[in-house]
Amino acid sequence: MDDDKKDWYEEKWDEETEEAENDVAGLSLSFLTVQALRYAISGILPNQEGIESWSDAISHSSRQCHLLMGCGVVFFLLSLAVLNSERLLEEPSKRMERAIEILNNYFTFGLSWSLFYGVRWQISALRFTDENALLMVSIALFLSVASFLMIFVLDKVEDNHLFGQDSEVAEGATEKMISGLGILIGFSWEQSFDTAVDVVAEGLREDCPPLISKMIMSVILVLIVFPAWRIYILPMEMELSEEMTEEGAQKAVLKQYAQQHFDLFLEKERNEDDLDRAHLLMKRHRRTAHGLQHPGHGVPSGLKHLMVTSSGIEEVDAPEEHHRHEKHGVRCSVVMASQVSSIPC
């Protein structure tokens, strides 16, 4: 920034910092809101970490649990309202975009917190165990299974367009619910691991102070998780982020067709004609992605661009013919990925 110009690294830094600020704002505000709702519903104020005493945790009625989960439904509806209002704004300012993003995070996190504590109240009231660690693991397992099943169903609904091909509101609601359920799974296991760390640290109190034992466990966890994140998750995240751009999407298409051509090349039974056609198709997508001219542009007037195949000599479509075929809906068959697919010539 000394030269008053942002390079790629500075832009990524600002982007990630802004995203982190939005997440922290939504997370902290939603947690405090749900804390207040829990106190308003049950009359019991949790501590700063959202933890209640054991006697308070098992004392909640079903009505209180349902009220808190109902608050989650309200958060969900409000998140849809924010989503729709965002679509109505044609060119929102940068400040407005950040405000909308924080509100989205706030309502999504609020949905997850409400569902988590509502289910926690309900399962705790069953009093099937006196072990807090076992209780938290049971809650995490229950929420994980239930959430994964719901995510699977919602994903199938969205993929099959059961709400209609152009139902943006329904798709937005589905994506918002899937996001909330994913965060809910994270919350449940975070609480479970936090409780487990406290139990282990308390058990080692005679040999090691709890602060030291917690620090050692944190370091061990980072040593295990960080390499896996750096080697596998981060490159995948960067690749997915790149595919969100127009250039990245074109590269993704090229990679797909290159992989298909590679698969065809390895098939022993595949004939040469299929490989020739597949190669021409891959070259066409390469020209489209990079904005290159068709080789037919270099053919003098009166000459034809021909291709020799096992079935004879065929004319390769020139650019103007290609556009004319697309306009009139003329299609030809090209073999790709072990199957015959109909694509515009």
Q: Does residue 168 lie within any of the structural domains?
A: yes
Q: Does residue 70 lie within any of the structural domains?
A: yes
Range of the domain at 64: 8-204
Q: Does residue 309 lie within any of the structural domains?
A: no
Contact call for residues 123 and 192 (beta carbons, < 8 A): no
What pLDDT does 2 receive? 60
Other C-beta atoms within 10 Å of 239: how many? Answer: 13
Number of domains in the chain: 2
Q: Does residue 219 lie within any of the structural domains?
A: no
What pLDDT does 30 receive? 94
- Shared-domain flag, residues 95 and 177: yes
- Shared-domain flag, residues 108 and 18: yes
When mean pLDDT is compared across 80-89, 211-220, 245-254, 327-336, the lowest value belongs to: 327-336
- Shared-domain flag, residues 170 and 38: yes
- Shared-domain flag, residues 260 and 189: no
- Shared-domain flag, residues 175 and 91: yes
- Helices 234-243, 246-266: axis angle to 10 degrees equals 110
Last residue of a domain, one of 150, 174, 204: 204
- Shared-domain flag, residues 86 and 150: yes
- Shared-domain flag, residues 250 and 193: no
Q: Does residue 298 lie within any of the structural domains?
A: no
- Shared-domain flag, residues 88 and 145: yes
- Shared-domain flag, residues 249 and 200: no
Q: Please report the sign of the dihedral spanned by the C-alpha atoms of residue 37, residue 38, residue 44, residue 46.
A: negative
Question: DSSP letter at 310?
Answer: T
Instruction: List all residues 6 or more positions away from 125 whose beta carbon is below 8 Å from its beta carbon.
Output: 58, 59, 60, 61, 62, 65
- Shared-domain flag, residues 139 and 70: yes
Q: Does residue 38 lie within any of the structural domains?
A: yes
Residue 139 has pLDDT above 50, yes or no: yes
- Shared-domain flag, residues 132 and 261: no
Distances (CA, A) of 253 to 76, 169, 231, 249, 258: 35, 28, 24, 6, 9
Q: Does residue 47 lie within any of the structural domains?
A: yes
pLDDT tens digit sequence for 3-57: 677 777 888 888 889 989 999 999 999 999 999 999 999 999 998 888 898 889 8
Instruction: List all residues 6 or more positions away from 318 whose beta carbon is below 8 Å from its beta carbon.
Output: 294, 296, 299, 305
pLDDT tens digit sequence for 296-334: 666 566 666 676 766 777 776 544 444 333 333 333 333
Q: Does residue 286 lie within any of the structural domains?
A: yes
Query: Is the pTM higher than 0.85?
Result: no
What pLDDT does 3 receive? 66
Give CA torsion, residues 52, 57, 62, 68, to 10 deg: 20
- Shared-domain flag, residues 262 and 191: no
Region 69-87 average pLDDT:
87
Last residue of a domain, one of 173, 189, 204: 204
Instruction: List all residues 6 or more positions away from 69 whose beta carbon is below 8 Å from its beta carbon.
Output: 114, 115, 118, 119
Closest residue by Cα to residue 170 from 185, 158, 182, 180: 158
